[in-house]
Structures are given as structure tokens and as C-alpha cells.
């Protein structure tokens, strides 16, 4: 069994309003320098890093390789963000990223959403990002949506999320379903907003592919009234053959966290070999303060949920982590997220053996070291840094191509990042592909005064 994958997850002391205490790890937003310690600093351009070319022909999308409408030159990273939707084409590893939120919390305040209205494609054979020129009929910009790859039709499928036109007022909770065809660059609406017979509008649901049944699966998610979450426990299947939604797995038990009626901020993955969908971690109605670390799987034939007895040795309870299905390794790979312990944002890597149903920590990442100076005021040596790992983070991109996980962006203790990394799942080693000029803590920022006892955490 080859175990693999790690990325990082950023903290945003409250993506939605965590109470920032000395132990809850806020987002001390700061514009930092660049780079992980031990990694050569450059201007943000992609280094000489890339995976072998698969031989698949170039896609037909139109890209902006610089000079137009804010597009970055090829070889630079996509703009920083969190809460984006993404999916990877398994044929060539090209990873497609759409929308997201570029708002950055300041000193533990939760920010006004700043929705990004763009699309990007990452080519792992060259290590380069290029902007996709969006045009024609297409989805509303949004954040906290979810996407997956439809391998039968070779396209990205995107569901749900939230949107608000201004800086105040209620959000629009989205339940529309769209498909993006990289061969033509065109979007197709598969299910309209508020169409009858489908899931309600929601954010932070999970979307999992079920290619053997020609469908996708949507689980959980929720909305908020700014004081608490209204969470969903339902599971829906959208059939590409019929173009219709069907609610499935309506019996008992339901995979709810203890004393909760649903789940959001969780992760989910398919186990294609055994016909199961796994759900892990997240939170419920009280997700501002309580994170969970339970795990369930849904039998896709009997439509029955079973809770996994994790025992000891499982990852800390967390929200906004990322998890991928490694079919070759017969495992799930978890990276990062935000826990409710001293560290807050994590950059640990865990693998879950789909045969034995057990977790193994593959990389510890950074470790907690010293408490805060005061409210939202952290020392540079707050954590003992693992220089071989990316910055701790949450709400990031984490996807799989072959034997390599691709990680990008997300929220860290110090803001939004836009660095790109590869994780080799055989050797469990990270390789940095592009830098981030923001979102780095002191020891990863290039600063030279981090050993000063009064030095602050962010670069």
C-alpha cells in the first residue's frame, strides 16, 4: 500500500466568526515576503518544475497569458483566494479553478466577502497557470461552491455556493448545477437555480463523482443567519443520463455529528472500488465553536450509512480540510484544515486505509510552540516550523493527478496565499512550484528577524 498526500490548510480565525482566543488561531492578515524557509526565493514565477506530459491534446479553452483584463503571464501563479471550486482532468492532470473569495480577515474580524469572477487552469506538465477567459452564458460568481470531474463527459461539474451583490444584506444561497467543457470553453446549465425536485440552496456542501453510476453525489452543507448555521443532512444524486435529481439514503441512521442535525465544512470522497462514499469532520449548527472528527460511509448500493469506529490515532477534529481519493493506493489522503486546538490551521498529512479503515499520520507538519502575546497578537515562534511543508492553511485547492497531489492557495494565519505545490504520494515529499508573496508566517516569509523574542508571527 503506498500512502501519500499532504497539503496545508490555513486558519482564518473565523471564516464565519470564530471567537479568537489565544488558542483559536486567528488570521493575522499581513502582506508577507515570500517562500518557505529552505526554498529558493524568486519573483513568483514558476520554477523548473513539472510532471511528465500525458500526451493529451491541448484543450480548446481560450486563455489570457498576459496583458489582457488582468491576466497573469504564463508561469506565474493564479491570484490568491480561498473557498474556490476546482476539479482535475485525470487524463492530463489539468486542474480547473473557478470563482472563490479574496476577502482577508483583519485582526480576527471576519471580512466582507469579495467574490472572484474568473477561471484558471493549471498544467502540471509545465507547472504553469493560465487564466480562462469566461464568456457567454455562465454561472454567477460565487464562493463556497463545490466541483468535481465528470469522467464520462470530460467536463467540470459545479454546484451551489453563496453570492451577495453588495457588502451588506442577505446572501443568495445557490443550488444551480453547471458543467464546463474544456474542449469548447462553454458552460451548460444542467439544473437551474431553485429548480423543483432538487437540493435546497447551500454553501459548503460536498460534491463527489460516482462515474460507475453516471452521476454525482451532493451531501450536507448549509446556510447561516449570521448567528448560527442551518445545516443539512440530506444526500442527493444527479443523474447525467436523465438530467434529474433524486434524494437518496433517506433512512436511519443519518451521518450527523453528535447532537447535531446536519454537517457542513466537512470533506467527502468516493471509494470507487467498493462503492462507498466517505464523509469526515466538519461542524454542525454550532460550527463557530465546535468541530467534529467523526467518519461515516454510505453504501451506494444499499444506501445505508455506517459510522466508522476510528478509535485512537485519528486526525484532530477540524473544518475546511481537503481530502482526495487515491485509487492506486487504495486510500484517502487528508491535508490541512482548521482544528480547535492550540495550532488552529494545520499542515499535517494523513492517509486513511480503505481496507482496514484506519488513519495513519504521514507528515506532522508544524507544531505548536508558544502562546499569543495578546488578543490576535502572535509571536514569530508561535509554531515550530516544518520547512519541508507548505504554510498551514484551510479552504485551499487539493487535487490528484496520478501519483501527485496538487495544492494551491487558501487561507493561512496571515491571509490569503497563492502558492502551488506538488506532493509525491509515494515518497510523501513536497515540491514547491510557485511562490506566494502574501499569507506567509515569519519563518516562511524571508524575514531575518524572526528569532527576536518580540518578532510578530506574520511576514
Distance CA 318, CA 250 (A): 26
pTM of the model: 0.86
Instruction: Say which residues have a Cβ less than 8 Å from residue 32's Cβ, sequence separation at least 6.
Output: 414, 415, 437, 438, 439, 440, 441, 442, 444, 445, 446, 447, 458, 459
C-alpha distances in angstroms, 47 versus 161, 224, 262, 275, 419? 34, 42, 43, 40, 12
Q: Is the pLDDT of residue 437 over 80?
A: yes
Comparing 310 with 50, the larger pLDDT belongs to 310
On the 0-12 / 13-18 / 19+ scale of CB atoms within 10 A, 54 is middle
Give pLDDT, residue 52.
53
pLDDT at 4 over 90: no
294 close to 260: Cβ distance less than 8 angstroms: no
Grid cell, residue 79, equals: 491570484
Q: For cell 469579495, what's the residue? A: 114
C-beta of residue 448 within 8 angstroms of C-beta of residue 459: no
Largest CA distance in the chain: 63
| pLDDT computed for residue 58 by the predictor | 45
Rounded to whole angstroms, how far apart are CA atoms 412 and 10?
A: 3
The string of pLDDT tens digits covering residues 338-356 is 998 899 999 999 999 999 9
The grid coordinates of residue 397 equal: 485547492
What structural domains does the chain harbor? Answer: 63-445 (2.120.10.80)
309-321: pLDDT as tens digits: 998 899 999 999 9
Q: Residue 211 pLDDT more than 60?
A: yes
| Nearest to 72, CA basis, from 131, 119, 132, 122 | 131
pLDDT of residue 274: 98
Helix or strand (DSSP H, E) at 443:
helix 442-445
How far from 311 is each of 266, 295, 308, CA to CA, in Å?
Answer: 19, 11, 9
Instruction: Say yes or no to pLDDT of 127 above 60.
Output: yes
Please write the tens of the pLDDT for every residue from 69-98: 334 444 568 999 999 999 999 999 999 999
Q: Provide the phi-psi class of 417: left if phi over 0, else alpha when psi is between -120 and 50, else beta.
A: beta
Q: Is-contact 154 134, C-beta < 8 A? A: no
Amino acid at each position: 500500500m503506498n500512502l501519500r498526500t499532504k497539503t496545508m490548510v490555513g486558519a482564518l480565525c473565523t471564516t464565519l466568526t470564530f471567537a479568537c482566543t489565544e488558542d483559536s488561531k486567528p488570521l493575522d492578515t499581513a502582506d508577507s515576503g515570500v517562500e518557505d524557509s529552505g526554498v529558493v526565493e524568486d519573483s513568483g514565477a514558476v520554477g523548473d518544475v513539472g510532471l511528465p506530459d500525458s500526451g493529451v491534446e491541448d484543450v480548446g479553452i481560450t486563455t489570457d497569458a498576459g496583458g489582457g483584463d488582468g491576466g497573469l503571464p504564463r508561469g506565474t501563479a493564479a491570484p490568491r483566494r480561498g473557498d474556490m471550486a476546482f476539479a482535475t482532468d485525470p487524463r492530463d492532470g489539468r486542474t480547473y479553478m473557478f470563482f472563490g473569495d479574496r476577502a482577508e480577515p483583519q485582526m480576527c474580524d471576519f471580512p466582507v466577502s469579495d467574490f472572484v469572477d474568473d477561471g484558471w487552469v493549471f498544467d502540471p506538465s509545465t507547472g504553469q497557470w493560465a487564466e480562462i477567459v469566461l464568456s457567454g452564458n455562465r454561472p454567477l460568481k460565487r464562493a463556497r461552491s463545490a466541483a468535481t470531474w465528470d469522467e464520462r463527459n470530460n467536463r467540470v461539474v459545479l454546484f451551489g455556493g453563496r453570492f451577495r451583490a453588495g457588502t451588506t444584506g442577505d446572501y443568495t444561497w445557490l443550488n444551480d448545477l453547471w458543467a464546463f467543457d474544456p474542449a469548447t470553453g462553454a458552460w451548460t446549465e444542467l439544473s437551474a437555480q431553485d429548480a423543483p425536485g432538487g437540493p435546497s440552496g447551500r454553501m459548503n456542501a460536498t460534491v463527489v463523482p460516482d462515474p460507475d453510476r453516471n452521476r454525482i453525489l451532493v451531501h450536507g452543507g448549509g446556510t447561516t443567519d449570521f448567528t448560527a448555521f442551518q445545516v443539512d443532512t440530506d444526500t442527493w444524486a444527479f443523474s447525467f443520463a436523465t438530467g434529474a435529481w433524486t434524494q437518496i439514503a433517506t433512512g436511519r441512521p443519518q451521518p450527523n455529528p453528535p447532537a447535531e442535525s446536519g454537517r457542513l465544512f466537512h470533506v467527502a470522497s468516493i471509494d470507487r472500488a467498493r462503492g462507498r462514499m466517505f464523509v469526515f469532520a466538519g461542524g454542525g449548527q454550532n460550527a463557530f465553536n465546535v468541530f467534529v472528527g467523526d467518519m461515516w460511509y454510505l453504501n451506494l448500493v444499499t444506501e445505508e450509512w455506517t459510522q466508522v469506529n476510528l478509535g485512537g490515532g485519528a486526525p484532530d477534529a477540524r473544518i475546511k480540510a481537503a481530502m482526495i481519493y487515491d485509487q492506486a493506493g487504495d486510500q484517502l489522503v487528508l491535508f490541512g484544515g482548521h482544528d480547535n486546538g492550540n495550532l488552529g490551521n494545520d499542515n499535517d498529512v494523513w492517509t486513511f486505509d480503505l481496507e482496514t479503515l484506519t488513519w495513519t499520520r504521514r507528515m506532522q507538519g508544524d507544531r505548536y510552540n508558544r502562546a499569543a502575546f495578546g488578543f490576535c497578537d502572535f509571536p514569530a515562534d508561535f509554531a515550530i516550523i516544518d520547512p519541508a511543508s507548505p504554510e498551514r492553511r484551510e479552504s485551499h485547492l487539493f487535487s490528484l493527478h496520478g501519483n501527485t497531489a496538487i495544492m494551491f492557495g487558501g487561507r493561512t494565519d496571515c491571509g490569503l496565499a497563492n502558492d502551488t505545490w506538488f506532493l509525491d504520494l509515494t515518497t510523501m515529499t513536497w515540491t514547491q512550484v510557485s511562490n506566494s508573496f502574501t499569507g506567509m508566517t515569519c519563518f516562511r516569509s524571508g524575514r531575518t528577524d524572526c528569532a527576536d523574542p518580540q518578532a510578530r508571527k506574520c511576514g
